Structure 1
Amino acid sequence: MNKLLKSIEKEKIEPYYSDWNVLEAEIREIFSARKLYAEASMNKGINLYKALLNQCSTKDESVVPLNHAERLEFIEANRSTYAAFRQLSELFKELDKKIASKRAILRKLE
């Protein structure tokens, strides 16, 4: 089995998205209540996203959203803003789509 396919199996990716769904709701609540302590939760989200990226990578290949590096840099520089939260949320969604697409392509090739 292809190493990348093995690393992006649904069972291995699901826990990251389960954690993100809980964290996303928490961060959304923080911003909607206009509270000023979103940075700690955003740090957790950024770390979770990086861990997911690491899961979706092998020595030879990786799955990443378009303009991922620039967008992640923006998020890290502005982690206490709603705009950064929205961007992080979009990165998770786009990565999920990329993973599903890559998984389908790799399975078809096997």
Structure 2
Amino acid sequence: MIEVKKEVISKEAVDAWITVWEELRENIHAAHEARDGSAKPLMEKGIEQFVTFLLQASHTDIALQEHAIYELLPINGMERLSFIKMKPGQYACYRQLDELYKETKKRCARLRLKA
């Protein structure tokens, strides 16, 4: 298991990360409502932000490992992330990414409390 760096998942750092996602999420939602194909690049940006945070908050200095178990990821997180990366322009992937952000934020809080 790739353990989390507790100093990186401070409440302030996680709140800043989520704030950026919330702004991006609003734009992605609007793009899906417009049905003009503009959601995909926004989703790719959201995926990149998620992966960057995951790697920065984990004790690893290599790229994302598909078969690794990251302490920070929620249940089935890697499989869900792979699904999202396959078709980032789909609305279902947007919903799934939003859920990953929310669940990861909660997981950060639990890991901060963990002894």
Both structures adopt the same fold (TM-score exceeding 0.5): yes
Q: 1:75 aligns with which of 84, 87, 93?
A: 84
- How far, CA to CA, are the matches of 1:68 and 1:94 in structure 2? 9
- How far, CA to CA, are the matches of 1:47 and 1:5 in structure 2? 21
TM-score relative to the length of structure 2:
0.82
- How far, CA to CA, are the matches of 2:26 and 2:75 in structure 1? 24
> 1:62: Cα distance to partner?
3.4
- How far, CA to CA, are the matches of 2:17 and 2:92 in structure 1? 22
More helix by share: 1
> 1:102: Cα distance to partner?
0.8
Cα displacement string for residues 54-77 of structure 1 (whole angstroms, at most 9, x for unaligned residues)? 232124x73111111111111010
Alignment RMSD, CA only? 1.5
TM-score relative to the length of structure 1:
0.86
- Report sequence identity in percent: 34
Q: Which residue of 1 aligns with 2:74?
A: 65
Larger Rg: 1
Cα displacement string for residues 1-44 of structure 1 (whole angstroms, at most 9, x for unaligned residues)? xx722121112222211110100000001111222121110110
Amino acid in the other structure paired with 2:43? M
Judge conservation of contact 1:65–1:91 (CA < 8 Å) in 2. Answer: yes
The count of corresponding residues between Structure 1 and Structure 2 is 103
Amino acid in the other structure paired with 2:111? K
Describe the SS at the equivalent of 2:13.
helix
Instruction: Give ranges in structure 2 of 5+ residues lacking alignment.
Output: 61-69
Q: Which residue of 1 aligns with 2:49?
A: 48
Instruction: Give ranges in structure 1 of 5+ residues lacking alignment.
Output: none
- How far, CA to CA, are the matches of 1:41 and 1:12 in structure 2? 22
Q: Which residue of 2 aligns with 1:15?
A: 16
